[in-house]
Amino acid sequence: MSGPLHGVTVIELAGIGPGPFAGMMLADMGARVIRVDRIPTPGGGSALEALMRNDSVVDRGRESIALNMKDPRAVDTVLRLVEKADILIEGFRPGVTEKLGVGPQACMARNPKLIYGRMTGWGQSGPLSQAAGHDLNYIALSGAVHAMGPADRPPTVPLNLVGDYGGGGMLLALGVVAALYEARQSGQGQVVDAAISDGAAVLMAAQYGLQAKGFWHNERASNFLDGSAHFYGTYACADGGYLSVGAIEPQFYRLLLEICGLVDAHFAQQWERAEWPALREKLAAMFLSKTRDEWSALLEGTDACVAPVLSMAEAPWHPHNRARGTFVTQGGAVQPAPAPRFERTPSELPPVAPAIGRDSRKWLRLLGRSDAEIEALVAAGVVHEASD
């Protein structure tokens, strides 16, 4: 593997959502990520187990050791792994890893320089810290959900990008890398408390800043970035496709009007909020006169700030995405390529997700276990190795 994190070793205690995404980000950037998986239930187990099972995209780039963490010998194996690691990431409720015997105190006793990354919804402290929840709940508390959607209907339920991935996994990845940088100067590890509710609030920094200046209204669909402004939103076209329009700056707005042949003086009132509904209706009627691709041929690539709204089936084949290699195909799955791009230490696409327990035997040997000991652990159900 290459990439700027080449030489960094990460232990990932398997979970769902933001933790695996953080592991993907670190693996994409060249880190060696060893995932400690649960032993699969014979026959497939529950729907939750199916959800937690390997995802060919998000779980790429890992090595997998599968352990029964209820057994002290499995706990000892994880602690031995920790001795060789720079970072550990986990996504359990506060206190769970302590009960398992692999909490921060136990791990950092083995490796004082360890960065211990904790990914939760509500954080390690606070009155909600022990409560269950999911992405939507966490971002609801940040003010983000209230700001999304039409004014006359309930807030829009967004994909779990704002919470799980942007405010969660990405935040955790940044946090552990920043802490690792500091540890290499101080010689001391530390715990990184990454909460989705905190991260979603951070992602709302610009909106809170605009609100403080009086430029953002608390009412949904009354602001220039929430779809109420005619110059910033999506429009239906004649074929049922959609265009995204983002002509915020006056010069870009003027160019949009010019290319579209809009000479109506009414459009000069770009920033008059009271005029936005009527101006949006006029633009909506105009965009319905051509297909999405006809409008794209006219506007895409100009400073009018217009782009087609592509489906996930279409996006990988757009000329810009193809030219940059934004998407790749691996293991039969079309997927995003690693990002961002590094000039001197470029990342490579990590290998496909491993079968659960594929690397169990290899890592037990690396940790000093004899073949006889390994066979005994497998036979006792402490360790699982992939059958394929």
The bridge status of strand 87-90 relative to strand 9-13 is parallel
User: CB of 50 within 8 A of CB of 44?
Assistant: yes
Question: In terms of C-beta density within 10 A (0-12 exposed, 13-18 middle, 19 or more buried), how is residue 330 classed?
Answer: middle
Cα separation, 122 vs 106, whole angstroms: 23
Query: What is the distance of C-alpha 201 from the center of its chain?
Result: 15
Name the β-bridge partners of 11. 34, 88
Query: What is the distance of C-alpha 264 from the center of its chain?
Result: 43
Cα separation, 337 vs 339, whole angstroms: 6
CA of 252: how far to CAs of 116, 146, 230, 313, in Å?
47, 29, 13, 30
Q: Going edge to edge, which strands form the sheet with 232-236?
A: 232-236, 242-246, 306-308
The bridge status of strand 115-120 relative to strand 32-38 is unpaired
Find tokens 């890893």 and name the residue.
97
Cα separation, 115 vs 192, whole angstroms: 7
Q: Which residues contact 169 (CB under 8 A, 6 or more apart)?
A: 17, 18, 19, 20, 21, 22, 24, 25, 119
Cα separation, 349 vs 351, whole angstroms: 7
Cα separation, 250 vs 196, whole angstroms: 36
Listed residue (86, 112, 96) closest to 26, CA to CA: 86
Question: In terms of C-beta density within 10 A (0-12 exposed, 13-18 middle, 19 or more buried), how is residue 66 classed?
Answer: buried
Task: Give catalytic residue positions.
Answer: 134, 164
DSSP string, 150-188: -TTSPPP---TIIIIIIIIIHHHHHHHHHHHHHHHHHS-
Find tokens 């390690």 and name the residue.
124
